[in-house]
Amino acid sequence: MKYRNLGKSGLRVSCLGLGTWVTFGSQISDETAEDVLTVAYEHGINLFDTAEVYAAGKAERTLGNILKSKGWRRSSYVITTKIFWGGLAETERGLSRKHIIEGLRGSLERLQLEYVDIVFASRSDPNSPMEEIVRAMTYVINQGLALYWGTSRWGASEIMEAYSMARQFNLIPPVCEQAEHHLFQREKVEMQLPELYHKIGVGSVTWSPLACGLITSKYDGRVPDTCRATIKGYQWLKDKMQSEDGKKQQAKVLDLLPIAHQLGCTVAQLAIAWCLRSEGVSSVLLGVSSAEQLMEHLGALQVLSQLTPQTVMEIDGLLGNKLHSKK
């Protein structure tokens, strides 16, 4: 496992992290979740990401139960959670000071922890003034409920506004942004976030390196029975795969097979390694449904060292979606 600093902070995180949206969701048994978490920890993954909304709080409870039963040193792993969608009441969602503080306390109760390492403000909230958000995040850090805070799915201008607000009032600025990043979703992580990384030290933790499972060579124009898209509640993913754009993307994934074969890896491993090469990316979150799948994805670490500039250019040529700076 390789470790990187979280943005320009001193926190060292594994370059591959484990997301709990899939692993600890309602479709996966607690035994499987424990197997996955154990394999991840034993192979050097120290970053475990969850959210108050995942499986209506079950993901946090399951993660908390496993961590408690394992008895691993609290100082040896990093727990992150996201606040926004907490409950049905108007005051149980969004980024008001009330919900940030109460939502985080609820997460800590479910996780059975005294603090999380990073709390993310998930989505920007037009109903909450930026100063209120930054002051609330500073408060939870000063109270010891979190050690750092970050943003998730925020625009570059919003992140910069939060940073400026923190500097203006001597508050604590965000350290990283959680963003979707994969072969077909490139602009934010490759064009916007590197500038924030160099200017204000905000790094990035990225998710969905396989585009919710679309980036594998197993589909071949159809949706197999074992695919996540066939699960209840994932109709949107099935629709996406069967759309015109989805079929074009799957065709491009198959075009990557010769490169993957040349490097002696799977398309999934190639796609994850490709995400890891991006500047300012502290960690790439994996979403897996079994320990075997996790082991395959960990193989991306060996592929990363083989990704020469020439290979990356070849991939860019096949995808045809490389972005160029306006400078």
Which segments within the chain are labelled E, that is strand? 3-5, 12-14, 16-19, 47-49, 78-83, 116-122, 146-152, 176-180, 203-207, 281-286
C-beta separation of 206 from 17 below 8 A: no
Q: What are phi and psi of 80, to 5 degrees?
A: -125, 145
| Structure tokens that stand for 282 in this block | 């502290």
Between the CA of residue 301 and those of 47, 144, 178, 181, 254, what are the distances in Å? 16, 34, 21, 17, 22
Catalytic residue among 41, 54, 163, 197: 54
Judge whether 54 counts as a catalytic residue. Answer: yes
Task: Give backbone dihedrals phi and psi of 269, rounded to 5 degrees, phi first.
Answer: -60, -40
Q: How far apart (Å, rounded) are the C-alpha atoms in residues 69 and 54?
A: 21
Q: Give the span between the Cα atoms of 158 and 130, in whole angstroms.
A: 9
Distance CA 113, CA 56 (A): 18
**Three-state SS for 229?**
helix
Between CA 110 and CA 86 the distance in angstroms is 13
Residues with active-site annotation? 54
